[in-house]
Structure 1
Amino acid sequence: MPHFIQKVVVLRKKLCLGTSILPPLTSTPTTKKRASEKEREHLGMAVTGETAAKLKVAADKYRSFLHEEGQNIEWRHGGPPIYDDVNKLFEHGRTQEWPKGSLEEVVQNAVKSWELELSHKTRIQDFRTINPDKFKLVVNGREGLSGEETLKLGSYNALLKSSMPEEFKFYNADEESFESSHDVFRSAFPRGFAWEVIRVYSGPPVITFKFRHWGYFEGPFKGHSPTGELVQFFGLAVMKVNWGGRKRIRGFNNYN
């Protein structure tokens, strides 16, 4: 799997949640409890301790650099994550199944691998998908974020930060930390939030593509009861890459 991201620009997302954005607030408080190892598997978290010692994990077919031999990787949860549930969601809900080795599949897997590193590795020097010295993430025309800045914020906060009026913000990135942002999404979408490439418009070194992100609102979200409905959005992105030699992403321009 090539590791080639240099810059990504992401465009305006269209959010679709069925008939309503959120159900009415409920008065029943939710109890936050520590996830069991089985629950951690379902949430795409790392399994550690005795279970990890006994578990032989096959390489993820959609993500490179998940199980690296001889690498001193610092994983956020003590070990590499398990993506079984979100992979099932992806396979059952995707609208496209790209041929193996196609540009669409390469781009799709590159972004999934980048997200893996951003969500589960704690040191930028452990990233294999990007060039840390050149990488920039630009979302909706805002000032670009470096690799370190993106890692500090986390993918959800970096991508969902918005200048909309407060009353329209169902998710406020300014109020969330890296950890709380992931807790929110794992709670609301227990099977994960799947991602696919819908179309690639131009080839390397500047790759423009359309994507879809989706999941099912099956868990509580900040006091709102789950409805089970599909939540999805679409966006455009421009990814600048080093395509020759050691391939890495230099940047993302994201319009969502």
Structure 2
Amino acid sequence: MASTETGGDKYRSFMHGEGEKNTVWRHGAPPNYDIVNKLFEEERTKEWPDGSLEEKVQRLLKTWEMEMIHKVRPDDQKSVHSQGFTASTNGMKPLTRKEWTAIGGYNAFLATKLPPEHRIYDPDKETVDSGMSTFLTAFPRGFAIEVLDVYSGPPRVAFKFRHWGYMEGPFKGHPPHGQRVEFFGVCVFHVS
């Protein structure tokens, strides 16, 4: 595992080093996860042994999320294969890497079939930058994520996750309340 002393991240791959020297980052440099890593370490409910399937899936999840949000060019995303990649959330149509990157990770993650009048956050009206700004403002310590259970191993990895943060900033006209906001989900990665 990379350490923070060498410019790496304890929980994510493909952020630093020779392989990333030509990576185009959304904000000009790799993101710094120190604050959200601290939140993760303080409040996680599972601590997986290094090298376990659960730890590997958690690293893959965190790396994939980082790449989808922060790497501008799909070809810089190393946690997924260039050809044949698709991802979908909430029963929406699968998106290619290029489509996902174009609309932004937050908008892709929050895609919904809810009627517009029932959406507090409407990904159809947001840009990559406005979506990122909205969530970084509302959750300044970030939104931690952990793997709770892994139900099946490769090549089809099914797992349950927990995603949480504290609303310490305003969100779409709603004042900050400082309370934890969390949700749970199930995900399937097809890996080779």
TM-score (norm 2): 0.93
C-alpha separation between the residues in 2 aligned to 1:98 and 1:235?
19
Which of structures 1 and 2 has the bigger CA Rg? 1
C-alpha separation between the residues in 2 aligned to 1:62 and 1:89?
13
The alignment status of 1:220 with 2:170, answered yes or no, reads: yes
Aligned to 2:13: 64
SS of residue in 2 equivalent to 1:139: coil
Structure 1 position 142, deviation (Å): 2.2
- CA offsets, 1:127-182, max 9 Å, x none? 11111211010223322100111111111111111111334311111111111101
The answer to whether the Cα contact below 8 Å between 2:92 and 2:112 also exists between their aligned partners in 1 is no
The code of the aligned residue for 2:187 comes to A
C-alpha separation between the residues in 1 aligned to 2:55 and 2:188?
16
The alignment status of 1:238 with 2:188, answered yes or no, reads: yes
Instruction: Choose 165-174 or 195-204, whichever is displaced more.
Output: 165-174
Structure 1 position 224, deviation (Å): 1.6
Aligned to 2:56: 106
Structure 1 position 58, deviation (Å): 2.4
Point out where structure 2 has 5 or more consecutive residues left out of the alignment: none
The alignment status of 1:173 with 2:123, answered yes or no, reads: yes
Q: How does 1:122-201 map to 2 (within 5 A)?
A: 122-201=72-151
The code of the aligned residue for 1:117 comes to E
Aligned to 1:42: none
- CA offsets, 1:1-52, max 9 Å, x none? 7xxxxxxxxxxxxxxxxxxxxxxxxxxxxxxxxxxxxxxxxxxxxxxxxxxx
Identity %: 53
Aligned to 2:24: 74
C-alpha separation between the residues in 2 aligned to 1:231 and 1:168?
19
Q: Relative CO higher for 1 or 2, CA cutoff 8 Å, sep ≥ 6?
A: 1
Distance 1:141 1:221, change over 3 A: closer
C-alpha separation between the residues in 1 aligned to 2:9 and 2:65?
13
- CA offsets, 1:67-115, max 9 Å, x none? 0226311112111111100000111111111111111110111111111
TM-score (norm 1): 0.70
The code of the aligned residue for 2:17 comes to E
The answer to whether the Cα contact below 8 Å between 2:92 and 2:111 also exists between their aligned partners in 1 is no
The code of the aligned residue for 2:83 comes to D
Q: CA RMSD in A?
A: 1.4
Structure 1 position 215, deviation (Å): 0.3
C-alpha separation between the residues in 2 aligned to 1:163 and 1:143?
11
Residue in structure 2 matching 1:121, options 62, 66, 71: 71
SS of residue in 2 equivalent to 1:174: helix
Moved over 2 A (4+): 165-168
Instruction: Choose 70-79 or 199-208, whichever is displaced more.
Output: 70-79
Instruction: Choose 184-193 or 138-147, whichever is displaced more.
Output: 138-147
